[in-house]
Amino acid sequence: DGGITQSPKYLFRKEGQNVTLSCEQNLNHDAMYWYRQDPGQGLRLIYYSQIVNDFQKGDIAEGYSVSREKKESFPLTVTSAQKNPTAFYLCASSPTLLAGDGNEQFFGPGTRLTVL
């Protein structure tokens, strides 16, 4: 089955620690995205990537970093510089980057990060 996997589903970390969230897709999509969702709020874009070894900052990139070494993988690191990291993180992919081409985004199941 094609799709997006995110691991782990729940993640706990101590304040001051970096943590990496995994995102893998087998849809052969070029574009991948990371979103943050806080309770009662919409999706906010953290980073996105059009192709391997290329990525762009979204609306709330501070305190986060990403890499795109393989087409299938787009891990997100939440660094200790992120002041309020507790949130639900969603990874998504689409065939190409251009939203105006009608490309829907396919979403993973999400990772719920809690900082203790």
What is the C-alpha separation between 53 and 7, in angstroms, rounded?
A: 22
User: Does 109 contact another protein by CB under 8 A?
Assistant: yes
User: Does 51 contact another protein by CB under 8 A?
Assistant: no
Give me the phi and psi of 101, to 5 degrees please: -90, 5
Count of CB atoms within 10 A of residue 47's CB?
Answer: 22
49 within 8 A of 66, measured Cβ to Cβ: yes
87: part of which helix (H) or strand (E)? strand 87-94
Which of residues 41, 54, 62, 81 is near another protein by CB under 8 A? Answer: 41
| 48, two tokens | 């996105």
Which of residues 19, 46, 87, 97 is near another protein by CB under 8 A? Answer: 97
Q: Looking at this protein, which amino acid is placed at residue 89?
A: Y
User: Does 32 contact another protein by CB under 8 A?
Assistant: no
- Single out the segment in contact with another protein by CB under 8 A; choices: 13-21, 67-75, 77-85, 104-112: 104-112
Shortest Cβ distance from residue 85 to another protein (Å)?
A: 17
**Contacting positions for another protein (CB under 8 A):** 33, 40-43, 45, 48, 50, 56, 58, 88, 90, 92, 97-110, 112
